[in-house]
Amino acid sequence: MQPRTIQFTPEGYQKLKNDLEIFTKRRVTAVNSLRTAREMGDLSENGAYKAARFELSFVDQELRRLKFLLRFGKIGTVVNSGRVGFGNRVTLVNGKDELTFTLVDGFESNPQQEKLSILSPIGKAVLGKTVGETVTVTSPSGMVHYTIREIT
């Protein structure tokens, strides 16, 4: 069974490529560190060997993740049709708060960078809606009603 296609913004896809290059170089350093630590002797009490092995394991895991995302990822098409969709920047208001974010796929989401997943409660609520529509989102503090002010 093939995984679903993962959508990325152009910036998000480029970041994956850059990270792959960085971790590929970092792997060479990790292998050299492991080789040096292995030459120090007794591996059972060799902290440098254990640290180097841990580092190499982490780098290899990250490389597998990045290769998977690049293999099944594609740059999503941003459509400005007046309806909220992938890649749109959305501004919501509820009287006292204003929330602005870009709607992305789950692998690229990062609330600190104002990127929310289309699979998140807010993402699901606004998907396909237009300016002026009101959406209801269930949050830990209860139901919150937002009005869509802007879609770009």
Cβ contact 56:32 at 8 Å: no
Both 99 and 128 in a single domain? yes
Considering 48, 75, 102, which residue would you say is the last residue of a domain? 75
What pLDDT sits at residue 45? 77
> Domain range holding 114?
89-151
Question: What does the pLDDT read at residue 140?
Answer: 86
Tokens of 83: 């309806």
CA dihedral (147, 9, 118, 65) in degrees, to 10, reads -150
Residue ending a domain, choose from 75, 100, 123: 75
Query: Does one domain contain both 69 and 11?
Result: yes
Q: What is the pLDDT of residue 1?
A: 64
pLDDT number for residue 3: 67
Domain termination site, one of 75, 110, 126: 75
Segments of the chain scoring below 70 in pLDDT: 1-3
Instruction: Determine the pLDDT at residue 146.
Output: 95
User: Can you give the pTM of this predicted structure?
Assistant: 0.83
Contacts 24+ apart (CB under 8 A), 107-111: 107/6, 107/8, 107/69, 107/73, 108/8, 108/9, 108/12
